[in-house]
Amino acid sequence: MIEFNSIFPTLNDIPEKFRLDFPIKQSTYLLDGEIKTWEGNYREVYSPVYVENNNEFNNYIGSYPLMGKDDALKALSAAKNAYNAGKGEWPSMTIEDRIDRIKKFVLLMKEQKESVVNLLMWEIGKSYADSTKEFDRTIDYINDTIEALKNLDRDSSRFTITDGIIAQIRRAPLGVVLCMGPYNYPLNETFATLIPALIMGNSIIFKPPKMGVLLHSPLLKAFQEAFPKGVVNTVYGHGKEVITPIMESGEINVLAFIGSSKVADTLKQQHPKPHRLKSVLGLEAKNPAIILEDADIDQTVKECALGALSYNGQRCTALKILFVHENISKEFVQKLSAEVENLSIGMPWDENVKITPLPEQGKSEYLTDLVNDAKSYGAELVNPNGGKFNKSFFFPAVINNVNSNMKIYHEEQFGPVIPVITYKDINEPLEYVVNSDYGQQASIFGKNPENIATLVDTLVNQVCRVNVNSQCQRGPDSFPFTGRKDSAEATLSITDALRVFSIRTLFAAKENDTNKKIIRDIVKDDKSNFLSTDFIL
Ligand code: G3H
């Protein structure tokens, strides 16, 4: 019997290692190389984890600066000055020197691991194991980015001569990049754009997501110490107050945003010269699993539960709708329901915990509405505890007999609700994919190579990754990660990100004696950082 009423801990229930001295007031921000003290209003931070004291539940854990237009424009001006039309210290630094700065940042960042992981757990309710994984994955991502940049630079460290023209082709920065990550991976997905943007020589304005702000505060000093002034600047507050003026200035060269397509469209339209704006967007998805008649039911159930419910289903890559062949659907749904009922629930620090409280305000109510809406159109709520909730904690719900009249068929639930549809004809899930607004990934479960091949060939032209007998996911980070339709713009992977945040630019000269001498002199005496045959070892 699951005790929802007593799911939240008292202070004494929390292991000492994870008790923080709340509330944490983040009164600092990074502007133009200085860690400044904030004098204005604050925004309060509430945790998905409530702490009980004599039947009172408290989840207030801190606050951070609530900035306005003037503060945002100061950050923009600092970033612009640091770039200085490409003549700034950072964009004109050699790649090797930039790599050294990033390495310094990694060392400083690692010192903050415990604080960052702890705040990840408290701010967004991610389990200790997954929070640690997020931190470590981010460190690996940065180190792999350094190696990828070395390779890119090595490939560009030579001249080519074509049709009588001597050329050297390299990648150059784009200018000022606005980086905005999502709450579900506030560290990893923010740094997956911020670090490549930075290492390519751009200046950064960094706005953390609404949930997942405090965890960045231990890193402000690392940014300050590792990079020249103005290269990284932080802004906090309501998007309308701080992001709109930055976008309307027309001074942003790249928008790196992970969130909803609606917000992305609004931000892009605020730029007065949209053709000058490069957008790198990770948006919504509704990745389907297509479970064929010959699928291994036990393995498929396990993989689908994992794919639908890792971090409570709050992943853009989560499996958000399951299509099961009618001949196996009864057994599949029964087993899926049992699997879900057995998941261990609790607080982020509980060992092996799989389902934890949700950070978005009103999320349990939203998910309840989705379940009730589906029931009103004839769906069945299958698992006994499905949909029970207590404040921010919502027990995963498996809903069967879903159809297109229901909200859950169309909306990205981004939470622990698993809609299941029984199909007769394979064209039913395929039509779903074609008609969907989203086009990120799909998973196929089955054994027959011929059937799988046919489906793969159809789906690769609708989504950007087709997984076989495996859940949808972003990793490994060396693989391209993108989507069609409302799911993404531009491609991210370790190497792709370096390209996305830079542009190819070249030196070119007619092959004659005068030009050859000029080139020889420049290269021999290391007169230019661009025109160089130095090979990074
Ligand atoms: O929220 C979307 C993330 O990019 C998903 O990444 O598949 O590694 O969890 P993941």
In tens, the pLDDT along 303-330 reads 999 999 999 999 999 999 999 999 999 9
Q: How far does residue 190's CA lie from ligand 1's centre (Å)? A: 12
CA atoms of 304 and 318, how far apart (whole Å): 9
Structure-token pair, residue 270: 């605020």
Q: How far does residue 473's CA lie from ligand 1's centre (Å)? A: 6
Q: Average pLDDT over the chain, rounded to whole?
A: 97
| CA of 473, closest atom in ligand 1 | 7
Per residue in 450-495, pLDDT (tens digit) is: 999 999 999 999 999 999 999 999 999 999 999 999 999 999 999 9
Q: 127, 191, 310, 315: which to mutate for ligand 1, most atoms within 8 A of CB?
A: 315
Q: Whose C-alpha lies nearest to ligand 1, atom 8? A: 474
Structure-token pair, residue 79: 């970033």
Q: Whose C-alpha lies nearest to ligand 1, atom 6? A: 474
Structure-token pair, residue 66: 């609530």
Handedness of CA 368, 373, 375, 381 (dihedral sign): negative
The vertex-398 CA angle with 392 and 401, nearest 5°, equals 135
Q: How far does residue 360's CA lie from ligand 1's centre (Å)? A: 18
Q: Where are the alpha helices (DSSP H) in 112-211?
A: 113-124, 128-155, 188-199
Burial tier of 3 (Cβ tally within 10 Å: 0-12, 13-18, 19+): exposed
Q: How far does residue 317's CA lie from ligand 1's centre (Å)? A: 5
Structure confidence at residue 504 as a pLDDT band (50, 70, 90): very high
User: Which comes out higher in pLDDT, residue 411 or 534?
Assistant: 411
Distances (CA, A) of 509 to 155, 169, 386, 528, 534: 20, 12, 69, 15, 20
Per residue in 397-442, pLDDT (tens digit) is: 999 999 999 999 999 999 999 999 999 999 999 999 999 999 999 9
Whether the per-residue pLDDT at 537 is higher than 90: the answer is no
Q: 280, 316, 472, 487: which to mutate for ligand 1, most atoms within 8 A of CB?
A: 316
Amino acid of residue 316: C
Question: For residue 23, what is the DSSP state?
Answer: P
Share of the chain above pLDDT 90, in %: 98
Q: Whose C-alpha lies nearest to ligand 1, atom 2? A: 316
Pair 176, 76: CB distance under 8 Å: yes
Place of tokens 């000269």: 509
Per residue in 261-298, pLDDT (tens digit) is: 999 999 999 999 999 999 999 999 999 999 999 999 99
Per residue in 204-247, pLDDT (tens digit) is: 999 999 999 999 999 999 999 999 999 999 999 999 999 999 99
Predicted structure pTM score:
0.97
Q: In the structure, how many helices (H) and strands (E) does the chain have? A: 17, 25
* Whole-number pLDDT of residue 534: 87
473 CB near ligand 1 (under 6 Å): yes
316 CB near ligand 1 (under 6 Å): yes
Among 136-145, 150-159, 411-420, name the one with the lowest average pLDDT: 150-159
Whether the per-residue pLDDT at 3 is higher than 80: the answer is no
* Whole-number pLDDT of residue 317: 98
CA atoms of 485 and 481, how far apart (whole Å): 14
Pair 86, 92: CB distance under 8 Å: yes
The vertex-535 CA angle with 530 and 537, nearest 5°, equals 135
Amino acid of residue 58: N
SS3 for 508? strand
Place of tokens 């790196």: 256
* Whole-number pLDDT of residue 4: 82
List, as one string, the DSSP characters of 196-249.
HHHHTT-EEEEE--SSS-GGGGGGHHHHHHHS-TTSEEE--S-HHHHHHHHHHT
Q: How far does residue 364's CA lie from ligand 1's centre (Å)? A: 22
474 CB near ligand 1 (under 6 Å): yes
* Whole-number pLDDT of residue 1: 61
| CA of 185, closest atom in ligand 1 | 1
Q: How far does residue 189's CA lie from ligand 1's centre (Å)? A: 8
